[in-house]
Structure 1
Amino acid sequence: MADLTIAIALCVAVAIVYATAALIQAGYAHLTVRELTRVPLWWVAQGLNAAGAGLHVVSLGFGPLSLIQPLGVLTLVIAVVFAASRARRRMTRLETVGLVSTVAGLAGLAMIITTGGTPDTLTPVELTALLAGGTVLVGGLVAKGSRPGASSLWEAVAGGVAYSICSALCQTVVVGVGTTGAGVLLTPFMLVAIVAVGAFAVGGTVFTQRSYRDGLAAPLAVTNLVNPASATAIGVVFLGETVATTPVEVVLATACGILAAYGVTALARAREAEPELLPA
């Protein structure tokens, strides 16, 4: 129970940090990636993302991927609150309903999800399969989103998948070090995992930044729905984690999932003050 409390507290801190970074990034969504590299405040956002990632990695040592990742949707909730505060306006009724629904649905899912116990790690075969499948999937999504006139939400999906793969790899590294010591970091298996963490983290950052070009709420909602969904799938397929299995648990989990999805959809539809473009 103590580990669960720590994990949830860390997830809330991560959500606050990520929400702040997302609001900064949205203010520069009109710039190309090359132009962004010359904007000091954008690098502050990347520093916040790095700090959030660090806290997220720590949280993976206290709970399973299928529980930690869904709490990431709180980033959207906090971002909406921050956006309203920055615009000096009160939250709309739709935003309030969306916030309450999202929190209630996520709380229910967190209590219903069951796991096999302690966090697990990927085997070499599982690592290879995850990297190959993940690269193909993310590459296909980015290619589709890069077509002229394509929706930016394709890149939001790619970002969500990339971040979930990164989280699974981070959990393998964290648990591996905790089990066998820091020396394991020098093994070929761990070196590949560490390099892949960097690649998917950078990719996820670039894809989500590009997805903000048509607005913040919708792509942030999509990323934060795809992220836990794909992370849960990775946890079940590769890490031996389990989800609701009894009929009652399935019904309750489905209801909570629908409630959370409705909340996120409402937040994405809610009127949000246009991000103030910051001077470059």
Structure 2
Amino acid sequence: MTDLDGTVLAVLLSLVSAAGYALAAVAQSRLASASDGGRGALRALLARGQWWWAVGLNAAGALAHVAALHYGPLTLVQPLGALTLVAALPLGAFSARRRVTGAEWRGALWTLAGLVGLVSVTGPAAPGDALSLREALIVAAATALLIAALASGRRHRAPGRAPGRARGLGHATASGVASGVASALTQTLTAALARELPGGTPAWWQTALIAVLISAFAVGGLLLSQAAYRSGLAAPLAVVNLSNPAAAAVIGVALLGETFRAGVWGWLIAAAASVVAARGVVLLSRGSGTAALAPSPVAASGGPLPQPRTDAEASPAPAPAPLAG
């Protein structure tokens, strides 16, 4: 296979990955809008076939992304993954039978520009080593505390009131962080299986522990994204796509000796891209809401809701006066 063929195949697989992630996000947002968030919400969610379709689409998107990285460079595949947000907007609007607003398109373009800018400089200037077992456990513990802080808050809301957007973005941030840490731990597990882990070959139970942590963070990220979509689709999806590479970049810079490309200019580009992406998230959170995805009250009762009667309808009409004579 030539380099051109590999590049074309990487682009096609990246588009398939973005489409899979976008369809999964739309399905999750529809399920989230129909859920009341009570204690039995998770049990009801697991009993829905649509939820397992979303899980399958997420898995298909991840596999296509890994395959794309096999045929193409990271600098090409990662920016194309940002197309998930662009694809999810029209798909979500079509599912809700509405049009994408201008604010949503502007927010998506701002976020996409910021995400591409971040990804373009967050790749390691030189390949880094995997986390040691001790570092992996420290990262897992710190991440668990951070996720608990981001996901904390009141679970219930007043009837008829939409869930808080700030709390939804907190769940989205926690989801992206969990997924990014799961990717970093996967690198550690791969090195452990290849007997190339820093600090020596771990015992079998230590390798199994890393595998359990990866599964926990992966499942936690999926459930946190499900909770985040209760406050909308576009803004939480943008935050998930931003916080995932950001968490991986923090681990790489702090523990693996990696750095941004282009030295000082890379840091400046990353800072500017973060501001641009934050502007896009703000536009998305203002331009989109949960009303378009909320189920109709007609569907809940099987018919139209009774309308309140007016005073004229509530009071009986006066009886006609008897005719004289």
Superposed CA offset, 1:92-127 (max 9, x none): 322332333333333333333451433632111211
> Would the alpha carbon gap of residues 54 and 44 (structure 1) be closer, same or farther in structure 2, given more than 3 Å must change?
same
2:259 to 217, 229, 242: 242
SS in 1 for 2:127: coil
> Would the alpha carbon gap of residues 170 and 129 (structure 1) be closer, same or farther in structure 2, given more than 3 Å must change?
same
Match of 1:274 in 2: 292
Corresponding position: 1:118 with 2:127: yes
CA distance, structure 1, for counterparts of residue 255 and residue 209 of structure 2: 17
Q: Letter of the aligned partner of 1:173 in structure 2?
A: L
Q: Where do residues 175-214 of structure 1 align in structure 2 (5 Å cutoff)? A: 187-214=204-231
Superposition deviation, residue 67 in structure 1:
9.6
2:55 to 46, 59, 68: 46
Query: Contact between 1:221 and 1:265, CA under 8 Å: does it hold in 2?
Result: no
CA distance, structure 1, for counterparts of residue 210 and residue 66 of structure 2: 14
Query: Contact between 1:100 and 1:263, CA under 8 Å: does it hold in 2?
Result: yes
1:127 to 127, 136, 148: 136
The more displaced of 3-12 and 111-120 is 3-12
Superposition deviation, residue 268 in structure 1:
3.2
Match of 2:308 in 1: none
Superposed CA offset, 1:164-213 (max 9, x none): 11111123334555786xxx998434322211111111111112212222
**Percent identity at matched positions?**
39
Superposed CA offset, 1:17-64 (max 9, x none): 122111111111133111111211111111112223334455677777
Query: Contact between 1:69 and 1:227, CA under 8 Å: does it hold in 2?
Result: no
1:22 to 21, 25, 48: 25
The more displaced of 17-26 and 147-156 is 147-156
Task: With a CA cutoff of 8 Å and minimum separation of 6, indicate the structure with the bigger relative contact order.
Answer: 1
Corresponding position: 1:103 with 2:112: yes
Q: Where do residues 252-267 of structure 1 align in structure 2 (5 Å cutoff)? A: 252-267=269-284
Superposed CA offset, 1:70-106 (max 9, x none): 7655433321132234345553322332333333333
> Would the alpha carbon gap of residues 223 and 108 (structure 1) be closer, same or farther in structure 2, given more than 3 Å must change?
closer
Match of 1:233 in 2: 250
| C-alpha RMSD of the superposition | 3.7
CA distance, structure 1, for counterparts of residue 227 and residue 253 of structure 2: 30
Alignment: residue pair count: 275
Unaligned runs of 5+ in 2: 36-40, 158-163, 301-325
Q: Letter of the aligned partner of 1:125 in structure 2?
A: R
Match of 1:35 in 2: 44
Higher helix proportion, which one? 1
CA distance, structure 2, for counterparts of residue 6 and residue 122 of structure 1: 31
Match of 1:168 in 2: 184
In our comparison, the structure showing a higher alpha carbon Rg is 2
Unaligned runs of 5+ in 1: none
1:139 to 148, 156, 159: 148
SS in 2 for 1:152: helix
CA distance, structure 2, for counterparts of residue 14 and residue 217 of structure 1: 18
Query: Contact between 2:111 and 2:238, CA under 8 Å: does it hold in 1?
Result: no
TM-score (norm 2): 0.69
Superposition deviation, residue 239 in structure 1:
2.8
CA distance, structure 2, for counterparts of residue 127 and residue 140 of structure 1: 20
Query: Contact between 1:163 and 1:200, CA under 8 Å: does it hold in 2?
Result: yes
Query: Contact between 1:244 and 1:253, CA under 8 Å: does it hold in 2?
Result: no
CA distance, structure 2, for counterparts of residue 106 and residue 7 of structure 1: 19
